[in-house]
Homo-oligomer: A and B are copies of this chain.
Amino acid sequence: MFNSISFRGSFRSKAPIRVIINLNLKACLSSTKPSLSTSLLNVDNINQNIRNLEYAVRGPLVIRAAQLKKELKQGAKKPFKSVISANIGDCQAMNQKPITFIRQVLACATDTRLLASSDVPNDVKDRVKEILEYCGGASVGSYSDSGGVEIIRKHIAEYIKERDGGVECDWQNVFLSTGATQSIKTILSLINQRKSSKPVGVMIPIPQYPLYSATLCEFGMHLASYYLNEDSNWNLSLDELRRSFKEGKEKSDIRAIVVINPGNPTGSVLTEQNIVEILDFANENNLLVIADEVYQHNVYDENSKFHSFKKVMFTKTNHRIELASTMSASKGFMGECGLRGGYCEISNFRDDVRAILYKGLSSWLCPSVLGQITMDCVVKPPKEGQDSFLLFESEKDKILADLKRKAKLVADTFNSVEGVKSNRVAGAMYAFPRLLLPEKVIQEAKSRNLAPDYYYVSEFLENFGVCVVPGSGFGQQPGTYHFRTTILPQPDIFEDMMDRFRKFHTQFLTRFS
C-alpha cells in the first residue's frame, strides 16, 4: 500500500527533490526523520535572530554537564565523583529546601480538600480562601485576568509601598508574569518600534544577564553596552554611560537603559547616589529605565542596602520618568524557579500605553495562577502571631544566612588563589571572578577556536566536574577573562567546590607555566 515517500525539496533550493523508496509497513509507522530529507525548514531560512541568539547559562557546557552526570550514574570512571552545577541560579536544584508556608498554600489552593485538614495551619487556610475568592469558579484552574489575580496584584502593591517607605503603588500598574523573563520580554517588545532604518537600541550593562542579549537579538534590537567598572566594585560611572549612549546612538535609536540591581553576574549592589545619577542620565536622554530588581531580597554586605529605582526616583529626584521594575519568585530566599512566578511594576506610563501593554499580554491569556500565588506568599509573608510565622522566619533566615556566609567564602577563596581576583559579593547569588590567564592558555584556546575563558571552564568541568559559565557568555572588557559561579550549592558541597577550584586552578596554571 505504501510504496513511495516524498521528501519535499528545500523551500529555497533550486529544484525540489523527490525520492522514491520502497517501504515496508514498519518504516511507514516510524516517525524517524529520513536521512535524505531536504526539508522546508533549514538553518538558513528560519528566523535568523533565533539562530543567532545565545543563552549562555543553558549553553553547550550545561548539556555536557548533564551528560557527565548520566555517565557517572551509569558507572563511568571520571576524575571526580559528582558533578556540581553552579551554572544557573536554580536554588532548589542545589537542594535548597522550599519554604513550608509557600508549599502549603499552593498545595491547599490546588487540592481544596486540604482546607478541612487539621494538619494545615490556619493562616495557610485563610490565605487560600482569600485568593480563591478572586479566582473564577474559586479554582486555580481558571484563567486569571491577563495582568493577574486582582487580590494578588493588590498584595504586591502593598508590599511595594511598604518596601519603598510609603511611596504609593497603584495595583493596576502591577502585572504578574511567567518569571521575570516574560516581564522583560514584554517591555522590550513594547518599545521595539523603529522610527528610521536604525534598529531600536537598549543600553545594557556589561557584564549582563544573557536574557537581555538573547532577547534583543531575538527582537532584532541593538545592544548598546556600557561597562561596569570592575576596579571599583562593578560600579557604574556616568562617563561610561555617556560614552555608551553616544556610540550606541550612531547605530540605533536608543530608547531604554537596563540596570540589574543587585547585579547579575557581578554581585554588586548600587548605592542610592549611583541610582540618582542613572535616573538623571535617563531623564536627560529620554530613556525608559528597566530596573531588574529580582535580587532585592539578596543583599549580604553590611554596608549595602537595596534601594529600588522607584523609591529613589520619588524621594531623591524630581524626575517622573517611565520606569519598569521586575521581580521574580525564582530568586530571593524562596528560589521557586520551576513555579514561574514574577511581576513587573510600571511607573509613569501613560494610561493609553498601559492599556496597549495589557492588551498585548492578553494574547498570552495569563501567567500560571500557581506561580502567581507563589508571588503572593513572597510579598505577603505570615505576620507575627500567625501560625506559620516562626517557621517561615527561621527557614528564610537560615537560607539567607547560608547565602551570606557563602558570599564571603567565595570571594575570599578566589582572592586567596594566584591569578584570580574577585570583588566582594555584596548581593545576588553569584561571583564573577577575573582570571589572569597566561599567554600560553590564550594561544592554546585560540588553536582550539575557543574563547580563553570557555576553554578554562570546560577544562574545569571535564577534570573536576564543576559546571560554571564563561565570562564571554555575559560580556566582559576585551582582553579580560572571567567566569560566573553561583553560590547556591549547599554549604558542604560548596566547600567541596571551592576545594576543587583551588586544585584545578593550580594544576591548570602549572600545565601552562
Interface mask (A283-303 → B, CB under 8 Å = 1, otherwise 0): 100111000000000000000
What residues of B have a CB within 8 angstroms of the CB of A283 in the complex? Answer: 6, 8
Q: Which of A452-497 contact B (CB under 8 A)?
A: none
What residues of B have a CB within 8 angstroms of the CB of A191 in the complex? Answer: 41, 46-47
Shortest Cβ distance from A167 into B: residue? B29
Min Cβ gap A276→B in Å is: 13
Shortest Cβ distance from A335 into B: residue? B141
Using A9-B286, A46-B193 as known contacts, say yes or no to A314 and B90 having CB atoms under 8 A apart.
no
Q: Is A306 an interface residue (CB 8 A)?
A: no
Distance, CA A320 to CA B35, complexed state (A): 12
B193 touches A48 (CB 8 A): yes
Min Cβ gap A442→B in Å is: 28
Interface size class of A (residues with CB under 8 A): 35 or more
Q: Which of A122-162 contact B (CB under 8 A)?
A: 135-137, 139-144, 146
The A interface is mostly helix, strand or loop, or mixed, namely loop
Interface mask (A31-58 → B, CB under 8 Å = 1, otherwise 0): 1111001011111011110110111001
Which of B30, B46, B54, B338 meets A135, CB within 8 Å? B338
Q: Is A379 an interface residue (CB 8 A)?
A: no
Using A55-B359, A363-B55 as known contacts, say yes or no to A347 and B31 having CB atoms under 8 A apart.
yes
A348 touches B33 (CB 8 A): yes
Q: Is A318 an interface residue (CB 8 A)?
A: yes
Distance, CA A7 to CA B191, complexed state (A): 19
Q: Which of A75-83, A233-241, A364-372 contacts B (4 or more CB under 8 A)?
A: A364-372
Which of B28, B48, B322 meets A314, CB within 8 Å? B28
Q: Is A321 an interface residue (CB 8 A)?
A: yes
B353 touches A39 (CB 8 A): yes
A338 touches B288 (CB 8 A): no
Min Cβ gap A14→B in Å is: 13
Q: Is A384 an interface residue (CB 8 A)?
A: no
Q: Is A395 an interface residue (CB 8 A)?
A: no
A139 touches B359 (CB 8 A): no
Shortest Cβ distance from A12 into B: residue? B195
Q: Is A207 an interface residue (CB 8 A)?
A: no
Interface mask (A397-439 → B, CB under 8 Å = 1, otherwise 0): 0000000000000000000000000000000000000000000
What residues of B have a CB within 8 angstroms of the CB of A338 in the complex? Answer: 135, 139-144, 366, 368-370
Using A29-B314, A107-B108 as known contacts, say yes or no to A137 and B34 having CB atoms under 8 A apart.
no
Q: Which of A1-38 contact B (CB under 8 A)?
A: 2-9, 11-12, 16, 23, 28-34, 37
Q: Is A173 an interface residue (CB 8 A)?
A: yes
A31 touches B92 (CB 8 A): no
A178 touches B178 (CB 8 A): yes
Using A143-B338, A193-B45, A348-B33 as known contacts, say yes or no to A368 and B365 having CB atoms under 8 A apart.
no
Q: Which of A96-104, A222-230, A242-250, A267-275 contacts B (4 or more CB under 8 A)?
A: A96-104
Using A12-B195, A32-B170 as known contacts, say yes or no to A350 and B42 having CB atoms under 8 A apart.
yes
B356 touches A93 (CB 8 A): no
Min Cβ gap A189→B in Å is: 6
Shortest Cβ distance from A214 into B: residue? B363
Tally of this chain's copies: 2
Min Cβ gap A314→B in Å is: 6
Using A48-B193, A369-B338 as known contacts, say yes or no to A322 and B92 having CB atoms under 8 A apart.
no
Shortest Cβ distance from A157 into B: residue? B31
A143 touches B337 (CB 8 A): yes
Which of B4, B93, B190, B318 meets A47, CB within 8 Å? B190
A322 touches B168 (CB 8 A): no
What residues of B have a CB within 8 angstroms of the CB of A362 in the complex? Answer: 55, 58
Min Cβ gap A86→B in Å is: 13
Distance, CA A347 to CA B95, complexed state (A): 37
Which of B11, B350, B366 meets A39, CB within 8 Å? B350
Q: Is A266 an interface residue (CB 8 A)?
A: no
Which of B12, B51, B179, B369 meets A339, CB within 8 Å? B369
What residues of B have a CB within 8 angstroms of the CB of A95 in the complex? Answer: 137
What residues of B have a CB within 8 angstroms of the CB of A215 in the complex? Answer: 363
Shortest Cβ distance from A94 into B: residue? B137
Using A32-B170, A137-B94, A190-B47 as known contacts, say yes or no to A363 and B142 having CB atoms under 8 A apart.
no
Q: Is A315 an interface residue (CB 8 A)?
A: yes
Min Cβ gap A324→B in Å is: 10
Selected A-B contacts with CB under 8 Å, 12 pairs: A6-B320, A12-B195, A41-B322, A41-B349, A47-B191, A50-B356, A53-B363, A98-B141, A106-B370, A141-B335, A181-B364, A340-B368
3 closest Cβ pairs, A-B complex? A93-B136, A107-B111, A338-B369
